[in-house]
Amino acid sequence: MSAVPVDPALERLFVADAAIVKVGRKVRVLDAIGWPATMETRFLERLRAGNPELPQPTTQPQALDAEVAALDAIMQGIDRGHPIGHWLWKTAWSYRVAAQMLRGIGTPEFSRCSILLYGRPDTKYQSQDVTADDAARDMLATTDHLIDSRLIPETPCNMTAEQFAVRIRERIDPFFTDDKVAVVLNPDLASKAAAGSKQITLRATAMFSELDVEQLVQHEAFIHSATLLNGKHQPYVKSLGVGSPRTTRTQEGLATYSEIITGSIDLQRLRRVALRIVAVGQALQGADFMEVFRTFLDAGQTEVESYRSAARVFRGGDVRGKVCFTKDGAYLEGVIMVHLFICKALHEGRADILRMLFCGRVNTADVITLTPFLQSGLIVGPRYVAPWAQSPERVLATMAFSAATEKFRLDTFNLDRFVEYEDERIAESGIGC
């Protein structure tokens, strides 16, 4: 580890960094807005009885006044003239917005702050012509053309959580050479899986498929656990070892990109990601929980899957519409941003900054800000990098092939055309005819 020269300005920033980590750990977004399993049971029972009703969440605004005051004080004391100082100020700001969001659970303020942190699907950036919502709808239309959504074969989920845990351990143990990442079961986990720096948690009652193995390894282990661990191994800047809210779009985008670049994502999961973005847009426009639930149901999801997908959108919000949690909109926008960032970096011969996406919990802007500090040792390179990102030429090859083939149209011919094309070439040759 390189020794960073003693600098009073940096010492003050290290103090602010430690303070941000301490306060930030008390702003626990997902814990504050989670819905109990009993709500799902009641909703489905009433639905199947022919008397559906909107869920009645019991989540309440959080008392985070002390944390907000502490974050305000930290922000006021940070020297934003220093690049690290400005980066820390933005990190503290994102925790401040998250705390304000949790103080406004169930009110329009919740949505306003959620949009600040995670964006909204209909945002059109100055340099772009399309939105994440446009991309999601195109993705759904494309998959509809490839195969009718109701004909997409169901992937058999025939692995218990215990069996699945064994498979995951086999994959991750050789990767995390210097750290122990456990795989544990939790019957109360809302999602099927969640990753931290010390463990990957699986819902004990869930059933898993063979496809889930590679998806979870690429998404949860090689990205979420890896970036957290790399951040915790940073010698000086400890904020890189916690997931500040402003990094969510890039982190979820990078995790989804990891599934795509390795070919481990499947059509049903891709559609789920796109549908959630459309659903967030609907909720913001005023659709209530039942309307959003029907959107997922009509797209081919089961009643259970549709409830859980809709619950993700409305947790912390208002089931009557307009107030919702926009985090699910960050996945597609994030993966598009990560894809463009990687394309541009490799196009400019900056393969070095591809690895910096793994140096901790960062977003794409942070990579640009922090890379210059590698030389001084203030920031160190990542210990764990997903296998696909260790070889930039593999990413380049995939991108080059995709760019070359995306101009070909599928709607102008059918499979019989392959036979006709060969027969035409033979006839035109004049040989033996």
Residue listed under structure tokens 């406004």:
104
Secondary structure of 92-117 in HEC code, one letter for each residue: HHHHHHHHHHHHCCCCHHHHHHHHHH
Say how many domains are in the chain.
1
Domain-located, residue 354: yes
Within a domain: 34: no
Domain of 146, in residue numbers: 121-406
Evaluate whether residue 214 is within a structural domain: yes
> Is there a domain that residue 430 lies in?
no
Tens-level pLDDT at each residue, the chain (433 residues): 456 656 788 999 999 999 999 999 999 999 999 998 899 999 999 999 999 999 999 889 999 999 999 999 999 999 999 999 999 999 999 999 999 999 999 999 999 999 999 998 888 776 667 788 888 898 888 877 666 655 566 678 889 999 999 999 999 999 999 999 999 999 878 778 889 999 999 999 889 999 999 999 999 999 999 999 999 999 999 999 998 999 999 999 999 999 999 989 888 888 889 999 999 999 999 999 999 999 999 988 899 999 999 999 999 999 999 999 999 988 888 998 898 899 888 888 888 888 999 999 999 999 999 999 999 999 999 999 999 998 877 777 777 777 677 667 666 767 787 788 778 888 887 787 6
Residue 350 inside a domain? The answer is yes
pTM over 0.85: yes
As beta bridge partners, residue 202 has 185, 193
> Is 355 inside any structural domain?
yes
Classify burial at 350, counting beta carbons within 10 Å of its beta carbon; exposed 0-12, middle 13-18, buried 19 or more.
middle
Report yes or no on 365 lying in a domain. Answer: yes
